[in-house]
Chains A and B, each alone.
Chain A
Amino acid sequence: MKTLAELNAIREKMKNQINNRESVTSSDIRVVVGMATCGIAAGAKPVFAAFNEEVAKRNLTNVKVTQAGCLGMCKLEPMVEVYVPGKEKVTYIKVTAEAAKQIISDHIVNGNPVLKYVIGNE
């Protein structure tokens, strides 16, 4: 059973780390997950969680995962937009938690968008 006492230890550990993760800078890669009613109903919650988990696991400090409202095409939700500085935005549709992990490894880490989830390729 977790207690609040453990939080003190985590805080001390984190204070000793150089942490610049709070602010979004222009060199950051942004992953935006649509989290309006349509997105949530289609499964955006586990997708958002999977992106965060994968980013934390790989310690990708230059990747920011954020939430947005409706991205405009409800029937294609869960939708995810990936903004890599200097590159064109990539919009993914019908994303699953598994797809999220693949997007992180193939697109974010290795620079190759996962075409089968890119809008227009469905």
Chain B
Amino acid sequence: MRELSLNILDIAQNSISAQAKNITILVRASGGELTITIEDDGKGMSEEFLSKVMDPFTTTRTTRKVGMGLPLFKEAAESSGGSMKITSELGVGTVVTASFQIDHIDRMPLGDLAGTMTILIMAKPEIDFVLEYAVEDRSYKFDTKEIKSILDGVPIESSEIITYLEGLINDNITQVNGGAVI
């Protein structure tokens, strides 16, 4: 993985596989620390599965017995002076949180977060996605529920809408960044 947005995309794909109806992605840069949270209301994990979920040889995939998504995200966090934790409850959902030291030399850039959001929307348009993006005291909230209510039945995954949404998210992220690149 070359940017944290790809980790976010990857972890959120697990939420989609877990039949989540709502997936919330929180990105907050404050006081020198970057925190990324991916929260879903999917089927959750049993304590037993949760205890071995960081093992690369634990996976839900069917083609291979290797699952690298969470270990890679953890590695990305720990190599930049941060940490990752995961909590989950069967039938309730899963929360993955990772923290990073923003100015650590080995921290990957956040990258194309807008592209990650639109790819997730195209993967499962019926899921409601929320992105909350905050830098210090400035913040932006993107919510597909709000978009869908404006669209009034026009499919959110249509290419015209996706192009527009990517621009919308990018513009707002740039504004929240206030000149910084995270």
Contact = CB atoms under 8 A, between A and B. Distances in A.
Interface in A1-26: 1-4, 6-8, 10-11, 13-15, 19, 21-22
B101 to A, nearest CB: 23
B13 A10 contact: no
B159 A55 contact: yes
A74 interface: yes
A37 interface: yes
Given A2-B168, A10-B164, A11-B154, A69 B61 contact: yes
A41 interface: yes
A45 B9 contact: yes
Contacts of A6: 164
B1 A40 contact: yes
Contacts, number: 97
Nearest to A15: B154
B155 A70 contact: no
B9 A49 contact: no
Contact of A49 (B115, B154, B161): B115
Given A45-B115, A67-B119, A14 B13 contact: no
B67 interface: yes
A48 interface: yes
B115 A40 contact: no
Contacts of B161: 7, 10, 14
Nearest to A7: B150
B25 to A, nearest CB: 15
A21 B158 contact: yes
Given A52-B159, A69-B63, A72-B63, A2 B1 contact: no
Contact of A67 (B115, B122, B164, B175): B122
Interface residues of B, number: 41
Given A2-B168, A45-B116, A40 B10 contact: yes
A48 B119 contact: yes
Nearest to A74: B64
Contact of B150 (A11, A35, A40, A48): A11
Interface in B133-181: 146-147, 150-155, 157-164, 167-168, 171-172, 175
B160 A45 contact: no
B110 interface: no
B81 interface: no
A21 B150 CA distance: 19
Given A22-B157, A45-B112, 8 more contacts: A4-B147, A4-B150, A11-B151, A11-B154, A14-B158, A45-B9, A45-B116, A74-B64
Please give me the 6 A-B residue pairs with the lowest Cβ-Cβ distance, nearest first: A56-B159, A72-B63, A2-B168, A37-B69, A70-B63, A1-B171
